Amino acid sequence: MKVVIIEDEPLIAKNLQRLLKQIDTDVEVLAVLDSVLSSVKWLQENEQPDLLFMDIQLADGVSFDIFNKTKIESPVIFTTAYNEYAIRAFKVNSVDYLLKPIDKEQLQLAIEKFKKYHAYRQAGFGVKNDAVSEQFKSLLENLQNKNTPKFKERFLAHYKGGIVPVSENKTAYFIKDTIIYLGNNENEKLVTDYSTIDEIEEVMNPSNFFRANRQMIIHIEQVDTYKKHDTGKIEVHLKCDKNLRVDVSREKANEFVNWLDR
């Protein structure tokens, strides 16, 4: 089984390759691609694989953009952190999906589903390629309309004995220091009711916010300067607080640069 992985987080891509090999030793990963641009180029220049694994949110756009730029004939298993609305769209269109973090058991079930589908098509009973393309077209339309998940436009925080809404563009960062604080553009730290940084990551707009490390999420408009260290890590300084240093790990360094440079 020849597979192509489209995923812009190296650790997730590496883990997916490892799990695939554990499930089926005959799996051959032809390529690991990390952007819409590189994916379109590869698919235009190579034979279609047996199966595509496709992350939804990529550094230079969403993976559905790939369908607009080249013809996809391979079955696709999406990997996603999207909410239930998007998942309903996958189910309606008979396209499989895996929620991150990817679970080995769920991955195995998805592979088994693909193999049944593949065998059915090989026997001449499957849908035609044009029908597959129409299936993806319908999926794209569903995800671009009202079913598309909405990211939070404002966050609630405690301020002077009350609770105030802080708009997304006035939110400089979130930081965990026993509890979760929201830092605004005026360099005020407000207490939130969030329990984990993961909760915020699920509802934030990834175009505007970046999960720098386990303790911190930063807003793109608050990035003042950054510098790379010999270790591969990145040190970021924010506009709202020049004394606050944000460390981005070596594994996420390329992702951070791509997020800024788009």
Q: For residue 245, how many other CB atoms are within 10 A of its CB?
A: 10
Q: Is pLDDT at 100 greater than 60 in this prediction? A: yes
- Stretch among 96-105, 203-212, 229-238 having the lowest mean pLDDT: 96-105
pLDDT tens digits for 120-170?
A: 666 554 444 444 445 455 555 555 554 445 688 899 999 888 899 999 999
Token reading at 36: 């819409």
Task: Give the model's pLDDT for residue 128.
Answer: 45
Boundaries of every domain in the chain: 2-144, 154-260
Query: Residue 101's pLDDT is what?
Result: 78
Whether the bond into 49 is cis, omega within 30 of 0? no
Say which residue, 139 or 255, is predicted with more confidence.
Answer: 255
Q: Taking the complete model, does pTM exceed 0.85, yes or no? A: no
In this prediction, residue 255 has a pLDDT band, given cuts at 50, 70 and 90, of: very high
Ordered strands of the 209-211 beta sheet: 162-167, 154-159, 189-191, 179-184, 171-177, 216-219, 209-211
Classified as helix, coil or strand, 207 is coil
CA dihedral sign of residues 145, 91, 117, 6: positive
Of 3.10.20.600, 3.40.50.1820, 2.40.50.1020, 3.80.30.20, the CATH number of 154-260 is: 2.40.50.1020
**What's domain 2-144's superfamily in CATH?**
Response regulator (3.40.50.2300)
Query: 30-52, pLDDT tens digit by residue?
Result: 999 999 999 999 999 999 999 99
Task: Summarize pLDDT for 228-250 with one digit per residue, the tens.
Answer: 998 989 999 999 998 889 999 88
